[in-house]
Amino acid sequence: MKEEDRMKVEKNKYRTHSCGELNISNVNEEVRLSGWVQKIRNLGGMIFIDLRDEFGITQIIVSNEDKELEDLAKKLTTESCIHIEGKVVERTNKNPHMSTGDIEVRCNKIEVLGKCKNVLPFEINTDQEVREDLRLEYRFLDLRNERLHNNILLRSKIIKTLRDKMDELGFTEIQTPILANSSPEGARDYLVPSRLNPGEFYALPQAPQQFKQLLMVSGFNKYYQIAPCFRDEDPRADRAPGEFYQLDFEMSFATQEDVFKVIEEVVPSTFEKFTNWKVDKGPFVRIPYREAMEKYGIDKPDLRNPLIIQDATVLFKDSDFNAFKGKTVKVIVVPNGASQGRKFFDKMGEFATSNDVGAKGLAWTKIDENGEVTGGIAKFITPEIKQALQEKYGAENNSAMFFVADEFEKAQKIAGLVRIELGKRLDLLEKDVYRFCFIVDFPMYELSDEGTIDFSHNPFSMPQGGLEALNTKDPLDIYAYQYDLVCNGYEMASGAVRNHDPEIMVKAFEIAGYTEEDVKNRFGALYNAFQYGTPPHAGAAPGLDRMVMLIADSQNIREVIAFPKNKKARDLLMRAPSVVSEQQLKDVHIKLDLKEE
């Protein structure tokens, strides 16, 4: 539907037009409008009302010639919902910044449809900072804010675009259950007690993982849905607590390449439709997981940041600098960084040693415009190390270098956070662009803190090399057909080629410490279904909330969700979670055992 068609409203007793529709061609027409009072200006002989609805604002004028109407207008409060009737006239002082700026409506009738209190908890359409918890408590008012309101409308349009595209590609939309079984993998489940089955629980699905695989076993060729997912995990700025939505899809007789083609078709076209920014098109850059960790210190790198991490351990193996001895040393070379003052380097050191990063320190030095090494750990930079930094690490004149020394994995992680912070503080990120990449070749397994072998990603993924790799390789050397889509430093989708062979499935879980009986008990539906002719299948699930957040250029995922929970996973508007009655607990056979704080 075109925007101009969407703005037209059905003619009825409340309105003949929307508040964003009238223009110079409507002059002398008698119209009916309804909306909210955004602003009232009483200029003595004339009262001006800015009337707002979802589509725009129309200026209403009330003359002092009609005392009864004037008295009613004077009593109006902002954000009250009103209905007006009047004639469209041409404005004397036109406003080029409004779609209705050429006209105004001379009012002859006002009806208050819904009165608003005199004192609002906060101003609706201003740039003033409002405490987030207060905004969430009055979310129905917060959603009247033009920016936030438009985010929700944008979300609706994006969902429709995704559905249209998936339909066009031959996918079938199928809904899967919300009341499902508990899974021991991933995050904590939200549990739902069963009234009819005492002592037993449903779980809200963390993802439709097993159901969509079962659909492939059932002979459906391509499935998708806009799927609600539920995970009891801590919130972040880019992750909504409790629940989120994803474009979940799966394909039979498909490989990793087939999934990538779908993502490269659907995602860039959706972004291009709703943004003026430059959008990467497929094929996207592919970065093996280990390379991503080495170069960026993170498995969701922001490719707008030109800085990379390099390993400098060998440079300092004979160094007298005690902080580097026996440690993995990572270096980030910042071209033109030597022009920064001492305060900048000190502030970066404070960042690195903060609790959120956890470095023991951040060493630095620089090569000035004359080629001299100065500042920081300059005295430990021998002529040989300087030469290597220049020839092999790209440290040209006027470069700064930041060094992280720690155990291997810690050094990677800390250097990754330092790289991100340098990109922000030095304003190095490429502007107005969406950079996509696939992270591939994830390790199938990892060592737990207790030293045991665990799955490092999705346990239902196909190991590269199949059963032979599981039987002959060191588990920590086995890669999986698992992949993530990353955009501007955010994980946007995760997926895998699925393990559809019961023999491979049992062996894969055995390496992680599960018996065949464990697999049958915990994943009985899949294990049983795999005995009846399962096609190879693969899929992925781009996150809808995160996609909208990126397209809307928002820094907070709660800004693109109509009714989000706060940072403590509470819905302040509906006051959930809440205490329930003893009878409700009794109905579902639950007795509370709460410890006093």
Give the pLDDT score at 184: 60
Give the pLDDT score at 523: 87
Tens-digit pLDDT profile for residues 534-564: 999 999 999 999 999 999 999 899 999 999 9
Give the pLDDT score at 1: 45
Say whether pLDDT at 457 is over 60. yes
Say whether pLDDT at 7 is over 80. no
Tens-digit pLDDT profile for residues 25-49: 999 999 999 999 999 999 888 999 9
Q: What is the DSSP letter of 130?
A: -
What proportions of the chain, in percent to the nearest 5, are helix, strand and coil?
Answer: 30, 25, 40
Averaged pLDDT, 241-266:
96
Say whether pLDDT at 5 is over 70. no
Give exposure, 295-304, as e/b (b: 16+ Cβ within 10 Å): bbbbbbbbbb
Say whether pLDDT at 2 is over 60. no
Three-class SS of residue 574?
coil
Lowest mean pLDDT among 205-219, 225-239, 424-438: 225-239
Give the pLDDT score at 127: 73
Give the pLDDT score at 220: 98
Say whether pLDDT at 353 is over 80. yes
Asked if residue 279 lies in contact with residue 434, where contact means CB atoms within 8 angstroms, the answer is yes
Give the pLDDT score at 128: 79
Give exposure, 118-155, as e/b (b: 16+ Cβ within 10 Å): eeeeeebbeeeeeebeebbbbbebbebbeebbebbebb
Three-class SS of residue 297?
coil
The verdict on pTM exceeding 0.85 is yes
Averaged pLDDT, 241-245:
91
How many CB atoms neighbour CB 7 within 10 A?
A: 18
Share above pLDDT 70 across residues of the chain, in percent, rounded to a whole number? 98
Say whether pLDDT at 51 is over 80. yes
Averaged pLDDT, 6-14:
79
Say whether pLDDT at 164 is over 90. yes
Averaged pLDDT, 449-460:
89
Residue 464 to residues 397, 485, 511: CA-CA distances in angstroms? 45, 19, 15
Asked if residue 414 lies in contact with residue 368, where contact means CB atoms within 8 angstroms, the answer is no
Averaged pLDDT, 263-271:
98
Give the pLDDT score at 595: 79
Confidence of residue 239 (pLDDT cuts 50, 70, 90): confident
Q: Which CATH superfamily is domain 305-429 in?
A: GAD-like domain (3.30.1360.30)
Tens-digit pLDDT profile for residues 492-502: 999 999 999 99
CA distance 445 to 478: 7
Tens-digit pLDDT profile for residues 179-206: 998 876 567 899 999 999 999 999 999 9
Domain 146-275+540-586: state its class.
alpha beta
Confidence of residue 594 (pLDDT cuts 50, 70, 90): confident
Tens-digit pLDDT profile for residues 287-310: 999 999 999 999 999 999 999 999
Domains 146-275+540-586 and 305-429 share a fold: no
Say whether pLDDT at 167 is over 80. yes
Q: What is the mean pLDDT of the chain?
A: 94
Say whether pLDDT at 6 is over 70. no
Where do the domains of the chain lie?
3-114, 146-275+540-586, 305-429, 438-483+498-534
Averaged pLDDT, 224-228:
97
Domain 3-114: state its class.
mainly beta
Give the pLDDT score at 45: 83
Say whether pLDDT at 3 is over 90. no
Give the pLDDT score at 272: 97
Tens-digit pLDDT profile for residues 72-130: 999 999 999 999 999 999 999 999 999 999 999 999 999 999 999 989 999 998 777 89
DSSP assignments along 424-486, one per residue: HHTT-SPSSEE-EEEEE-EESEEE-TTS-EEESS-TTBPBTTHHHHHHHS-GGG-EESEEEEE
Share above pLDDT 90 across residues of the chain, in percent, rounded to a whole number? 88
